[in-house]
Amino acid sequence: MEELLRSDVVSRWWQALSSTGEVALSSSRVREVLGDLVEVLAAGLTADPFDAAVGVRVGERVAALGFVDPRVPIVSAEVLYELAGRGLPGPVPAVACRRITALLVAVGLGHQRWAGSGRPSPPGRGESAEFRATAAVGGDRFRIVFDNLAVAIAIGDTEGTLIEVNQCLADMVGVRIEEMRGLSIYRFAHPDDVDEIRIRLFDKLVPAREGTVRMERRIVRADGSAVWVAFSITYVKGTRGRPDYLLAVGEDVTERHRLQEKLHWQARHDQLTGLSNRRHLLEQIENLSARPDGSGRVGLCFVDLDRFKEINDRYGHGVGDRVLCIAAARMRDSLATEDYTIARIGGDEFVVLVSSSADDDSVAAVARTLVTALADPISVGEHQLRVSASIGAVVTVVAGVQAEELLDAADRELYRAKAGGKDQWALQVLDTSPAADAEAGRAQGPSRP
């Protein structure tokens, strides 16, 4: 940390603390200690792994100097918050903001623990004795700081029971603060995330009794909706005979997740028709191949629209695009009752992945259904356009199947279908056994009877 920055922070912190009362130590000694504490906080901001418990020790040390007024955490926060954005190396601003917030909350807790240790207050309705003992001295002032920080904060015991939360977290969940105290953190966790929370927090962090865990998980709101929250949960060891606790600081990242989901969808779907694209199709095939129960079969129908180039050349790409969209919708609607992946892999080429109980009969039935769906003319404006389909289909065992090789095999069958004239389908059953005769597994026929 640059000496000029350090000196400025120490000077302003000393002035802020002096406004809360006098101490017995000399100003030079106090400044020396504050300088060390600023260095500790600066190092804590960039530490890997991050440990918010550093703030607890800083707060205790400030109180031990003799600054025990309830205003100390508040005036300290006003000065020290600037550490996150004043030339320190390390975390990006968003991360630095979360870290300095966690540290300053911990400073307040450490200060209140030390300063209030001789005057514990009895617990009020819905509050734990632990938090009352740490926050009673700060009273409303501590509560104001705690509640008005623009991040979600929770303090819990090592068994996952919420001791205290701030207003930001209560608003995020949609539950009043007093109703959240004493509840398990699992009460608001998404069911799909419970196992990971248990493993990372209570099977690893709590037994280790140190460290910080970072995770992005869903919180289920009171109205049943879910929000994504990025949390940093730090294990804080109790001092002076008090129990250990967990300090969690989080922020709502739902919009980022929605954007990521949108980008993920766009990267795997055709922008014109809304069908899956080649990338998504290949991923689906690879996922099937990787399944442990790979004894089943998979089918592929490679669809090529007949006479589409003539339509594009004669009427233009605008009409051609409308034809593709209508053809895609017809194929999708004709197979709506089945869980098949339908993809446009380029131009006028489409592929249907049959992944459930595929055999030569079911895949042949899909091929016939598809070409029947395209039998009627397609209306685009004043034009009645006839587009038929040629289809090459393959069936094979799913275990170890290579996606590109399966596509190539279906493409070869497509050419065989076209060799017999337009509006045809051809199918080959691929057998991986050495004794198999691949030609014996072939079938061919017209699109319709």
- Residues tagged active-site: 348
- Cis before 49? omega within 30: yes
**Which single residue is written with the structure tokens 């030390």?**
114
DSSP code for 185: G
Which residue type does 2 have? E
The Cα–Cα gap between 135 and 137 comes to: 6
Residue 102's φ and ψ, nearest 5 degrees, are -60, -40
Residue 1 structure tokens: 């940390």
The Cα–Cα gap between 329 and 55 comes to: 60
- Measured in whole angstroms, the distance separating CA 72 from the mean position of its chain's CA atoms is 38
Residue 304's φ and ψ, nearest 5 degrees, are -125, 130
Residue 425 structure tokens: 């389908």
DSSP code for 191: G
CA dihedral in degrees (442, 447, 448, 449; nearest 10)?
-30
CA dihedral in degrees (282, 284, 288, 291; nearest 10)?
110
Tell me whether strands 245-252 and 152-156 are parallel, antiparallel or unpaired. antiparallel
> What is the secondary structure of 26-74 as a DSSP string?
-HHHHHHHHHHHHHHHHHHHH-SS--THHHHHHHHHHHHTT---TTHHH
Residue 32 structure tokens: 């020396």
The Cα–Cα gap between 247 and 154 comes to: 6
Beta-carbon-side half-sphere exposure of residue 297 (alpha carbons within 13 Å):
17
Which residue type does 425 have? W
